[in-house]
Amino acid sequence: MLTYLDEKTQQANVLDERFYTQDNKIFYPSVTTVLNAYPKGAFFEQWLRDTGNNSKTILREAGEQGTKVHNAIDDFLKGSPVTWIDDNGNAFFTLKEWQMINRFMKFFSVVDNTGFLSESIVFDNKLKLGGTMDLVCKINGETWLIDYKTSNAIHKTYRMQLAMYKQMFENQSKMKIDRYGVLWLNAATRTDKPPMQGKGWQIKEFTKFFEDDFKLFGHTRAIWDEENPDYKPKNLAFPNKFKLTGENE
Query: Which has more confidence, 41 or 12?
Result: 41
pLDDT in tens, 137-146: 999 999 999 9
Q: Taking the model in full, what pTM does it have?
A: 0.87
Query: What percent of the chain lies above the pLDDT cut of 70?
Result: 91
- Assess contact for 168 and 131: CB atoms under 8 A: yes
Structure confidence at residue 56 as a pLDDT band (50, 70, 90): confident
Query: Which has more confidence, 80 or 40?
Result: 80
pLDDT in tens, 7-29: 776 666 666 658 888 887 888 99
Q: Tell me which residue of 223, 179, 204 sits closest to 33, measured CA to CA.
A: 223
H/E segment holding residue 112: strand 112-124
pLDDT in tens, 161-170: 999 999 999 9
Structure confidence at residue 194 as a pLDDT band (50, 70, 90): very high
CA dihedral 62, 72, 103, 204 (to 10 degrees): 60
Whether the pLDDT of residue 90 is over 90: the answer is: yes
Phi and psi torsions of 121, nearest 5°: -85, 135
Whether the pLDDT of residue 47 is over 80: the answer is: no
- Assess contact for 137 and 112: CB atoms under 8 A: yes
pLDDT at 1 (0 to 100): 55
Contacts of 212 (CB under 8 A, 6+ apart): none
Phi and psi torsions of 167, nearest 5°: -60, -45
pLDDT in tens, 66-75: 999 999 999 9
Whether the pLDDT of residue 193 is over 60: the answer is: yes
Query: What percent of the chain lies above the pLDDT cut of 90?
Result: 70
> What structural domains does the chain harbor?
22-227 (3.90.320)
Residue 202: count of CB within 10 angstroms of its CB:
23
Amino acid at 23: D
Cα 91 from Cα 148, distance rounded (Å): 22
pLDDT at 5 (0 to 100): 65
pLDDT at 53 (0 to 100): 80
Contacts of 176 (CB under 8 A, 6+ apart): 143, 170
